[in-house]
């Protein structure tokens, strides 16, 4: 599966697990050994906590297909574009809100795949792929990735991250946004609505205090924000052309601690915290 760097980082973490503590950059001798030991203990505790969390299972419906434009110059017709379209299907059918969640997640993926969603919601996956291959608008769009992946599950809320990639000019154009679904309301809600009115700018002050806030792409944008734990607010940014490997940390900014929890309207509504588990199809 092809993902840009920020998504690769997410695929490697345990969903619902708090961020690992970072090591200082300039340590030596006994201090470095102690720091490593403490970090290992901390990460081990985090992994143990994640392992004891209640689990929510899902599978990914993944489709990969090639499209080519017959109207192109004959020399370019063989240059097919590989497309990936994926979305999650949550497995807990005992919850009456799960069908609405699954329909919403699929609809989000269709919004990434097509510029406008018409009757695609009524089509099965095979028909959607056939329509994309036959659509001149889709061929012209340059879309080669439309992926929705689960991000977190807290209480009666489920969040997903939308990834998209579109071929354009010299470099592909990447998109990334976080969506939040309320099982009780059976509809999408804004992450910002989980927090108290932030008139004094407390959240923004916490954001600005992070080293990554100095990155060119970093901005306090609720569309990039995900509440990954009751005390952790993560901001993730899409890959930008020209960003070197040493700047990869600029794709993720995390605010973690009791200050985040204190600013929530109803922390109790966000419990329990779940570990998301992807099952093989």
The answer to the question of residue 136 being in a domain is: yes
The answer to the question of residue 213 being in a domain is: yes
The one-digit pLDDT tens for each residue of the chain (281 residues) are 333 333 333 433 333 333 333 333 343 444 444 344 434 544 444 455 566 899 999 999 999 999 986 655 555 555 688 999 999 999 987 899 999 999 999 999 999 999 789 899 999 999 999 999 999 889 888 899 999 999 999 999 999 999 999 876 667 888 999 999 999 999 999 999 999 987 678 899 999 999 888 888 788 999 889 999 999 999 988 776 665 545 546 788 999 999 999 999 999 999 999 999 999 98
The answer to the question of residue 82 being in a domain is: yes
Given the structure tokens 């290992």, which residue do they identify?
A: 40
* Structural domains in the chain (count): 1
The answer to the question of residue 34 being in a domain is: no
The answer to the question of residue 168 being in a domain is: yes
The answer to the question of residue 260 being in a domain is: yes
Q: Give the Cα-Cα-Cα angle 211, 212, 216 (nearest 5 degrees).
A: 130
pLDDT of res. 106: 98
pLDDT of res. 20: 37
Full domain range(s) for residue 204: 5-14+51-278
pLDDT of res. 12: 33
Residues forming a β-bridge with 160: 150, 179
81's CB contacts (< 8 A; 6+ apart) are 66, 67, 68, 142, 144, 167
The answer to the question of residue 45 being in a domain is: no
The answer to the question of residue 30 being in a domain is: no
Tokens of 74: 């004959």
Q: What are phi and psi of 68, to 5 degrees?
A: -140, 150
């Amino acid at each position: 599966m092809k993902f840009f760097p920020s998504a690769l980082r997410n695929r490697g973490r345990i969903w619902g697990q708090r961020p690992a503590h970072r090591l200082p950059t300039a340590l030596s001798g006994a201090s470095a050994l102690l720091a490593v030991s403490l970090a290992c203990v901390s990460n081990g505790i985090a992994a143990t906590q994640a392992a004891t969390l209640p689990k929510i299972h899902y599978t990914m419906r993944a489709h990969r297909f090639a499209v080519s434009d017959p109207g192109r110059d004959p020399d370019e017709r063989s240059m097919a574009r590989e497309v990936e379209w994926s979305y999650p299907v949550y497995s807990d059918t005992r919850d009456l809100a799960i069908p609405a969640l699954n329909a919403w997640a699929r609809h989000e993926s269709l919004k990434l795949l097509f510029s406008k969603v018409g009757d695609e919601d009524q089509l099965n996956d095979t028909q959607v792929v056939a329509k994309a291959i036959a659509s001149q608008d889709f061929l012209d769009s340059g879309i080669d990735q439309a992926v929705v992946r689960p991000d977190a599950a807290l209480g009666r809320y489920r969040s997903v991250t939308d990834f998209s990639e579109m071929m354009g000019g010299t470099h592909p154009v990447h998109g990334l946004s976080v969506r939040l679904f309320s099982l009780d309301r059976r509809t999408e809600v804004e992450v910002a609505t989980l927090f108290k009115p932030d008139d004094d700018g407390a959240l923004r002050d916490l954001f600005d205090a992070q080293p990554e806030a100095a990155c060119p792409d970093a901005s306090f944008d609720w569309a990039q924000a995900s509440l990954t734990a009751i005390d952790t607010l993560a901001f993730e940014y899409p890959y930008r052309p020209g960003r070197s490997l040493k700047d990869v940390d600029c794709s993720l900014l995390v605010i973690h601690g009791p200050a985040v929890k204190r600013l929530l309207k109803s922390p109790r509504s966000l419990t329990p915290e779940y570990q998301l588990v992807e099952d093989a199809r």
